[in-house]
Structures are given as C-alpha cells and as structure tokens.
C-alpha cells in the first residue's frame, strides 16, 4: 500500500512542472486550489453516497464505493501537493491525535 501511495505522490509532484495539455494533474494544478478543493468536495459526497448504498447491500455499490474512495484520495493528495504540503503533514496530525487518546483527544 505504501509503495502505491509513494508512486502516486511522485507522479503528483512531477506534474507540477508538466504542461496542462499533457496531464490531468497538470490541468488540475493550472486551475488552482479552489478548483481542486471543489473536486475533493464532490468526491467526498460521491464516496458517502456509495458507502450508504454499500451498507444497504445494493448491487455493485461496494465496488463503486472503492472507486469513489480512490477518486477522493487522489484529489485530496493532489490538493496537498498543489498547496506544497505532504501526506506526512496529515499523518503527523493523526499520530498526535492517537497519542492524545484518539480523534481530537477523544478515547477511540
């Protein structure tokens, strides 16, 4: 799993210097963080919808949930890269929360 994320992150970083005509990621970056944030929101809603469908056992919803989750993760990582942040910045927050007893200090 980590190898896949590392490979994806390398692609996201390399596309910062790519021409928008040749790369979806470069097009995202060219449109700016507002657009990418909008895409993250859209993908989050689509992921939530598919999660509910999967929870009800609807045909094909589990795979659709995985697909939408991948889209959400991809666009969130693209937004991090566009803002010159890194997954490690988010992971450090999660680690700090775990050390404090859970999400925002709550017991897990």
Structural domain for 37, as ranges? 33-87
pLDDT at 107 over 70: no
The reply to whether 93 falls in a domain is no
Across 72-98, average pLDDT: 95
Eight-state DSSP code of residue 21: G
**pLDDT per residue as tens digits for the range 7-44:** 999 999 999 988 888 899 999 999 999 999 999 999 99
The reply to whether 1 falls in a domain is no
The reply to whether 25 falls in a domain is no
The reply to whether 50 falls in a domain is yes
Contacts of residue 8, Cβ cutoff 8 Å, sequence gap at least 6: 74, 77
Tokens 């666009």 belong to residue: 75
The reply to whether 6 falls in a domain is no
The reply to whether 2 falls in a domain is no
The reply to whether 98 falls in a domain is no
13 within 8 A of 83, measured Cβ to Cβ: no
Look at the chain and report how many structural domains it folds into. Answer: 1
The reply to whether 7 falls in a domain is no
For the residues of 51-82, what is the DSSP string, one character each? HHHHHTT-TTHHHHHHHHHHHHHHHHHHHHHH
Angle between helices 61-82 and 33-55 (to 10 degrees): 160
């Amino acid at each position: 799993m980590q190898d896949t994320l590392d490979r994806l992150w390398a692609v996201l970083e390399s596309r910062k210097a790519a021409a928008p005509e040749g790369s979806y990621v470069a097009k995202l970056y060219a449109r700016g963080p507002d657009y990418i944030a909008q895409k993250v929101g859209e993908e989050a809603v689509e992921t939530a919808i598919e999660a509910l469908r999967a929870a009800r056992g609807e045909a094909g919803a589990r795979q659709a949930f995985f697909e939408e989750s991948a889209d959400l993760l991809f666009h969130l990582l693209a937004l991090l890269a566009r803002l010159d942040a890194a997954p490690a910045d988010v992971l450090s927050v999660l680690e700090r929360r775990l050390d404090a007893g859970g999400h925002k200090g709550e017991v897990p």
